[in-house]
Each structure stands twice: as structure tokens, then as C-alpha cells.
Amino acid sequence: MNIFASSESIVRSYCRAFPARFETARGSSIFTVDGVEYLDFLSGCGSLNYGHNVPVLKEELLDYIANDSISMSMDLETTSKEKFLTAFNDTILAPRNLNYRVQFTGPTGANAVESAIKLARKVTGRSNVIAFTNAFHGCSLGALSLTGNQHQRESSSSLLNQVTRMPYDGYFGDDVDTSDMLAKMLDDPSSGIDKPAAIIFEAVQGEGGLNCASQEWAQKIQAIAEQHGALLIVDEIQSGVGRTGSFFAFEPLGIKPDIVCLAKAISGYGLPMSLTLFKPEYDVWKPGEHNGTFRGNNLAFVTATAAILHFWQDETLMQNVRTSSAQLTDFASKLTNHGNICVKGKGLMTGFEFDCAHKAKRIQTACFENGLIIELCGPTDAILKPLPALNISQDTLDRGLGIIGKAISKSG
């Protein structure tokens, strides 16, 4: 029995699907202690949008550490935080005509979600939050109350309240507009739904099955929120920072959320960092009212700044996402001879849904045996979800897709 099995909690999960001991990583590859290479299409669940150990980010980080610079500062003002806020405002927010205050909430996406719903409740004086089917927003208590997954909810189900669950876009098929259902129920004083403090959704549902919100649906949800005095929260924790083809997945939807949750890839290097963005008029916190010790991760500020300045000054990265997305689509079009496979998602958040979870699991296992790490998602884990680096080369993507194709062929 190794030290992981004897000492680490049984709650661990990814290591069960990918039983190897890893030591180094570069770009889209991760290597075991024995030097065996695996293509990484998991990318830290989307935290490594630019791949592993990006040289320009690593150099900035090493220089920063070598100068005895501050690593952790809580919410003290530091030069690294100043540089990040300047780069984020000038390069990301201002060109998109977005005016948001930035709150550093702690290391995880769940921290961002917790602060978002807490702020919405403080602003509105209400407690109910509208969340959607197949949503995933985190596993801390408030975020978990918004999450739909039964497996994650069951241990705390009696504590998960003050949330109304509604059907996401397309939940009942293309012929049912679920935004009309929500509008009808909120307009009806006898529907039993309390006026919400917030409505929260993901533009693309990452863990829930790569379901995509349409522009029409998202705009209706925003209008419903405005009509009923609720704040619109969009969770960009996995879909943000370019994965769907724009920095924010909500951009093509033609909406401007009141609150946005960011984490995962925002640091650019896999360092813990999360942000809650909100319109200035909702910045009603009292000093220290919502805090967290590790909200001042200066190492993450350094790599996040370097990533913004290196990757987001022009369209090169997004052009690569478009090219890679086309490769994924072309690959999917050749799978029609292998049964009922549905293509879901958007950009480099595109996956393949199979007719049963057992088949998807067999394919995932076969991929790993042939040198590819890839995730499953969806209500029953029947969707194979590639999350390659956004700057992956065409050759490397082709190599990974070749492994997937062979695994699908052998699965029958």
C-alpha cells in the first residue's frame, strides 16, 4: 500500500481514473516519475488554459520570488496586485466596456460564488436564489446549495436551502422555452417562489454536461432579473478566460451580468486565485465583512498579469481556439459510424456524449492506457470532455484526437 492509499482520504477521485505518479509537466504534456508522457486534456479542470509551466509566466514568477517579493498579503496593497488590477482593467474590462469592481475572495471558485450570493442577498434584502438544473457552482455549503449534482449534494442535503431550482435552457428540448416558465412563475404571486435576490447560471455548463445558454434565453433571463429586482450572476469559473472563444463566455450572449465569478484559469499558472466582479453600485460591503486569509496570493497576481499581457493583447490566442474548435468539429463529424454520439459545448469546451456512461468510461480508460488524460462530465458521466490548452498546436491536438478516435473505434 502506498502513502496515498494509507494516508490520504478516500475522497480523492481523479487519481482513481488516472493511476500514475506524476512529476513534471510542460505545455500540453505531463510526465510520470518514470518519464512516461501523457497528453493532458484535463488541464487542471480548465485551470491551465495556457498549458503547464508556460516559459514567460515561469520567468516572471521566478524573478519575483528571487527578489524576496511578497508572496501573501491578505488585502494589503502590493505592487503585484496593482499591476494585475491595471492589466485586467486596461486589457480585459475596458475594451469590453465592462465597469466592474474586483473583489479578491480567496483561492477557489466556490469562494467567488459564496461572496456573490452573499452580496446579492445583502443588496436586495432577500434570501432566495434561482439556480438551474445540472448547475455546478462548488462544494462549500452556499455554493453547493446552487449545485444540482445529487452525488455531491447528498451528504449535506438537509442544509441546502434558500434556493429554487429551475430548468436550464433546452432542459425539456428545443420546443420548450424555460425562460418563459421562469417568467410565468415569478409573475404569479401564488407560484410559491419567493422573490429572488439573484439568478445564477453558467453560460456553458462545465460539469453539468456542456449545455450552452442561447443568446435569446440569456437575454430573457437578464430581463427577468431586472424586472423582479434580482441581480444576475454569471459563473465563468470554468468557461471564462477564453475557453469558449471569448474571454468571458457571456460576451456573445449580449448580456452584462451584475456579478461575475472567475477562478481556475485566471492566474494563468494553476495558482489558486478567484475573483468576484460586480457593478460599482453594488459595492456595499462593510470593510472586512467578507474576507479570507489567502485572498492576497501575490504569486498568482504575478502570473495572471503576465498571462494577460502576453496572451490578450491581440487575437492570436482566440484565433488558435477557433482553429482548434474547427478541428474538434471536423473530428466529431467523422464519428457517425460509431453509434449515437452527440457533440455538445462550445469552443475548447466541446465534448462527445455517448449513449451510456459505461461506454464513456471504457473510452476514458482506453485513452489513458494510450497516453491521454481526459475528463468525463454530465449527470451520468456519459460525456467525454476534452479541455486542452487554448494555445495547443494543431499537431498535438491531432495526436490527442487520434487517441480518442482509436478508443471509440475499439469500444464498439
- Tens-digit pLDDT profile for residues 350-402: 999 999 999 999 999 999 999 999 999 999 999 999 999 999 999 999 999 99
Q: How far apart are CA 15 and CA 18, in angstroms?
A: 5
Q: How confident is the model at residue 150 (pLDDT cuts 50, 70, 90)?
A: confident
Which residues are bridge partners to 166 per DSSP? 132
Is a pLDDT exceeding 90 seen at residue 139?
no
Topology of the domain comprising 3-54+316-411: Aspartate Aminotransferase, domain 1 (3.90.1150)
Q: How far apart are CA 335 and CA 148, in angstroms?
A: 30
Question: pLDDT, tens digit, for every residue of 167-207?
Answer: 999 999 999 999 999 999 999 999 999 999 999 999 999 99
List strand residue ranges (DSSP E) for 231-348, in order. Answer: 231-235, 259-262, 274-278, 342-346
What angle (nearest 5°) sits at the alpha carbon of residue 96, between those of residues 95 and 100? 105
SS3 133: coil
- Global confidence as pTM: 0.96
Q: How confident is the model at residue 1 (pLDDT cuts 50, 70, 90)?
A: low
40 is written with which cell numbers?
493532458
Query: What pLDDT does 84 receive?
Result: 98
The ranges assigned to domains in the chain are: 3-54+316-411, 58-311
Q: In this structure, which CATH number among 3.40.50.300, 3.40.640.10, 1.20.120.640, 3.40.50.2030 belongs to the domain 58-311?
A: 3.40.640.10
Is a pLDDT exceeding 80 seen at residue 253?
yes
Q: By CB neighbour count within 10 A (0-12 exposed, 13-18 middle, 19+ buried), where does 313 fall?
A: exposed
Quickly count helices (H) and strands (E) in the chain. Answer: 14, 15
Cα 178 versus chain centre, distance: 23
